[in-house]
Amino acid sequence: MSLPPTAEAAADDQTYAVVEEEHGLSPRRVGPVVMDIRNITLRFGGVVAIKDISFDIREGEIRAIIGPNGAGKSSMLNVINGFYHPQEGEIWFRGEKRGSMKPHEIAKQGIARTFQNIALFKGMTTLDNIMTGRLTKMRRNMFWQAVWSGPAEAEEIEHREKVEKIIDFLEIQHIRKTPVGRLPYGLQKRVELGRALAAEPQLLLLDEPMAGMNVEEKEDMSRFILDVNEEFGTTIALIEHDMGVVMDISDRVVVLDYGRKIGDGTPDEVRTNQDVIDAYLGVAHD
Amino acid sequence: MFYREAGEFKTSYQADQATFPIAFDRWGYCAVVAVAFLVVPFLINPYWEQAIFLPFLVFAMAALGLNILTGYCGQVSLGTGGFMAVGAYACYKLMTAFVWMPMPLVVILAGLCAAAVGIVFGLPSLRIKGFYLAVATLAAQFFLIWLFNKVGWFYNYSATGQINAPERDFLGILVTGPNTRPWATYLFCLSFVFVFAWVARNLTRGRIGRSWMAIRDMDIAAEIIGVNPLMAKLSAFAVSSFYIGMAGAMYFAIWKGAAEGTEAFSIEISFVVLFMVILGGLGSIFGSLVGAAFLTLLPVLFKNVLAVQLGWPTDIAAHLEVILIGALIIFFLIKEPHGIAALWRIIKEKLRLWPFPH
Ligand SMILES: Nc1ncnc2c1ncn2[C@@H]1O[C@H](COP(=O)(O)OP(=O)(O)OP(=O)(O)O)[C@@H](O)[C@H]1O
Ligand SMILES: [Mg+2]
């Protein structure tokens, strides 16, 4: 789907820049700003988790958020999907300033995410977990649900077909009916990605999707992320510690340290940024 | 050997998500239903009616309701007795105020009254969880019983404070009052349990059921994928109380014919229904029915075998029963939180592989 460019984005020459990928994928179109984060400050009592951070996410790009432990990356995602309420700052989504919203309302706007510590529904199967990801798209009321035969069943089957496509895409057909609690870690991460994809999000937030994986699993996950981005045109913001992966798959990178933004740009720009190098090498702050 | 899916290929998603995907189960289910509707009514006598079938059906309805709230949505409740009382008193008021009203409608409306009350007492669940919520529902239990005893309007200012079910027929057949026939009351309750067990199955397999289970398993993740916790929790309280209210109405009007708030709907009932759900299987429709059957049959069995056959003193038999139930609950809570239903499933999985375990 195409979105009207925001006022500022339209003025920006670089709107619809064609990004040439280093890793040999076909060039993609990166569109206008979909998410604009402006001067966000988030405090927990005395702890300042995020201090006056601004950055934007453009349509169709893969935006990485990196930084040392405790830098405020996960908190940033929690702000974006409405779980934390920042004390200061504004969030603009698709050209509109977001008022006070609950997380489930934000989910309905088309923002989905995965969690750093897997947050699957343990008592449910893979299939049910991913079907749950489509809850916001289902409409039948309690009466029809109670009767089941007819509209509710038809709706269920319609969504089941969509979910089966995701299951095929993620190559998890064999664990369709397995309770997720029994799955190994790597597969759980994949199911969680499936659950987020089921919502057909416009913006997908991934919190360390590859943490704790071996090289092979990381390669699989990188491929899925790139495919999602390419095939469905989904905008992705991801947190990742593995620099190799970040440099490979992301279009732009924002670097946080102690709740501040210390770098923002293409992987190459960030890599050569002196503040970023210092932060990662642990140079003392003055 | 016969129990398998072999040769049964699912060609549509509809068949894949059927309630009984295995032919053997499907036939078993049909056989049980056929016997329940077509055979039992001819054999039933007043003792079986009062001691086994009506208690089982009434508690099955209550257990279905509590399982929706606790097993599917993860909200612990000790207010079952209170919500049953709401159903019973609503049933009484409806029967006496609208003499023309057909009994099935009375029972359903009584359930709806309980649902409304359930929503109100479900409000704390938006803020508190687990043990604290259980204590809050306990407050509902005591408050409701106190209210029904205190305010004369609820029992039509009768001198005894009791409520008595007037005589009502449905389609020309008596279903309440002292002159009912066992098969009539049995079929009335059975039809309700049959229909609403099916409704519970449907509600728990689709959108609403998944939103309940999502809240139960990981409420933060549920909210972030778009489940409105307010709607999910309150709808679980409403549906659950609806079932429990209908159970209370049937308890009062069909089974006992009379009730007195403090005695009939005490905290003990809340615990009994909770035990049924734990023993039968949290989060299982089948488990609710099995748990209700188990805990209604066990006392009858103990009384007949130990006290009547073996001549033991009745109090010892009763104490032994309490000890056994306690031990079973501890066993299931530790070893198999999904109850008898899960044991049954494991046996079936073994059967499916038998005689080649690999
Ligand atoms: N709910 C909370 N209450 C209090 N402090 C919090 C809360 N959430 C985060 N913090 C604090 O905010 C800071 C940033 O935490 P955050 O989880 O965002 O870091 P992170 O960059 O995701 O780190 P990691 O790489 O370890 O995941 C930390 O100091 C953390 O202790
Ligand atoms: Mg984090």
What is the tens place of the pLDDT at every residue in B148-205?
988 888 887 887 888 888 888 888 888 887 888 889 999 999 999 999 999 999 999 9
Query: Is A214 a member of any domain?
Result: no
3-state DSSP helix/strand/coil percent for chain B, to nearest 5?
A: 75, 0, 25
Q: What is the pLDDT along chain A (286 residues), one digit of tens a residue?
A: 444 444 444 444 444 444 444 444 445 667 899 999 999 999 999 899 999 999 999 999 999 999 999 999 999 999 999 999 999 999 999 989 998 899 999 999 999 999 999 999 998 999 999 999 999 898 888 899 898 888 888 889 999 999 999 999 999 999 999 999 999 999 999 999 999 999 999 999 999 999 888 899 999 999 999 999 998 899 999 999 888 889 889 999 999 999 999 999 999 888 888 888 887 766 655 4
Q: Which atom of ligand 1 is nearest to the CA of A45?
A: 4
Structure tokens at B283: 């989060």
Segment (H or E) for B64:
helix B54-66
Which residue in B230, B258, B195, B247 sits closest to B119, CA to CA? B230
- Identify any residues that bridge with B163 across adjacent strands, giving them in sequence order: B259
Tell me which of A43, A65, A74, A246 to substitute to probe ligand 1's pocket, judged by most ligand atoms within 8 Å of the beta carbon.
A74
Kindly report the CATH number assigned to the domain that includes residue A54. 3.40.50.300
Residues of A whose CB is below 8 A from B214: 121, 124, 132, 135
Residues A205 and A74 grouped into a single domain: yes
Ligand 1 atom 18 nearest Cα: A72
Residues of A whose CB is below 8 A from B239: 142
Residues A17 and A39 grouped into a single domain: yes
Chain A residue at shortest CA distance from B72? A123
Strand bridging mode A33-44 / A96-97: unpaired
Task: Report the distance separating Cα A113 and Cα A108, nearest Å.
Answer: 12
| Position B294, amino acid | F
> How far, in Å, is the centroid of ligand 1 from the Cα of B32?
56
Which residue in A184, A207, A193, A166 sits closest to A75, CA to CA? A207
Residues A160 and A280 grouped into a single domain: no
- Structure-token match 């099935």, residue found: B104
CB contact under 8 A, B206 and A152: yes
Residues A146 and A51 grouped into a single domain: no
Task: Report the distance separating Cα B52 and Cα B267, nearest Å.
Answer: 22
- Interior CA angle at A163 toward A161 and A167, to 5°? 115
Residues A84 and A205 grouped into a single domain: yes
> In whole angstroms, how far apart are CA B159 and each of A271, B143, B148, B251, B260?
87, 22, 14, 22, 12
Query: Is A157 a member of any domain?
Result: yes
- Identify any residues that bridge with A66 across adjacent strands, giving them in sequence order: A255
- Interior CA angle at B207 toward B205 and B208, to 5°? 85
Q: Shortest Cα distance from A12 to chain B (angstroms)?
A: 33
What is the tens place of the pLDDT at every residue in B61-84?
999 999 999 999 999 999 999 999
Residues A182 and A256 grouped into a single domain: no
Which residues does B252 contact at the CB level (< 8 Å), separation at least 6?
Answer: B87, B88, B91, B92, B163, B165, B258, B259, B264
Q: Check the CA dihedral B126-B132-B138-B143 and report its sign.
A: negative
B53 DSSP assignment? I
Number of domains in chain A: 2
Residues of B whose CB is below 8 A from A103: 223-224
Could you tell me what percent of chain B has a pLDDT over 90? 51
Other beta carbons within 10 Å of B60: 28
Residues A10 and A104 grouped into a single domain: yes
Chain B residue at shortest CA distance from A107? B226
The dihedral over CA atoms of A93, A96, A99, A104, expressed in degrees to the nearest 10, equals -40
Segment (H or E) for A257:
strand A252-257
Residues A101 and A131 grouped into a single domain: no
Query: Is A281 a member of any domain?
Result: yes
> In whole angstroms, how far apart are CA B320 and each of B11, B214, B271, B278, B312?
52, 39, 18, 20, 11
Residues A103 and A234 grouped into a single domain: yes
Task: Report the distance separating Cα A104 and Cα A135, nearest Å.
Answer: 11
**What are the DSSP E strand ranges found in chain B?**
163-164, 169-170, 173-174, 258-259
Residues A100 and A16 grouped into a single domain: yes
Nearest listed ligand to the Cα of residue A66: 1
Does A44 contact ligand 1 (Cβ within 6 A)? yes
For chain B, say whether A103 makes contact (Cβ under 8 Å).
Answer: yes
Structure tokens at B241: 């109380």
What is the tens place of the pLDDT at every residue in B254-302?
998 888 877 889 999 999 999 999 999 999 999 999 999 999 998 888 8
Chain A residue at shortest CA distance from B239? A142
Q: Shortest Cα distance from A208 to chain B (angstroms)?
A: 16
Task: Report the distance separating Cα B178 and Cα B210, nearest Å.
Answer: 44
Residue B48 has pLDDT above 90, yes or no: no
Which residues does A99 contact at the CB level (< 8 Å), separation at least 6?
Answer: none
Residue B242 has pLDDT above 80, yes or no: yes
For chain B, say whether A142 makes contact (Cβ under 8 Å).
Answer: yes
> How far, in Å, is the centroid of ligand 1 from the Cα of A246?
21
Who has greater pLDDT, A85 or B333? A85
**Has the ipTM of the complex gone over 0.90?**
no
Residues A91 and A205 grouped into a single domain: yes
CB contact under 8 A, A146 and B199: yes
Does A49 contact ligand 1 (Cβ within 6 A)? yes
Which residue range forms the structural domain that includes residue A269? 6-110+201-209+222-240+249-286
CB contact under 8 A, A160 and B223: no
Which B-chain residues 162-201 have CB contacts (< 8 A) with chain A? 199
For chain A, say whether B203 makes contact (Cβ under 8 Å).
Answer: yes
CB contact under 8 A, B211 and A133: no
Supply the pLDDT for residue A9.
Answer: 41
Task: Report the distance separating Cα A62 and Cα A198, nearest Å.
Answer: 19
Q: Shortest Cα distance from A122 to chain B (angstroms)?
A: 6
Average pLDDT for residues B217-243, to the nearest whole number?
94
Supply the pLDDT for residue A28.
Answer: 62
Residues A11 and A37 grouped into a single domain: yes
3-state DSSP helix/strand/coil percent for chain A, to nearest 5?
A: 40, 25, 35
Max mean pLDDT range (B8-22, B273-287, B341-355): B273-287
Q: Shortest Cα distance from B279 to chain A (angstroms)?
A: 18
Confidence of residue B357 (pLDDT cuts 50, 70, 90): low
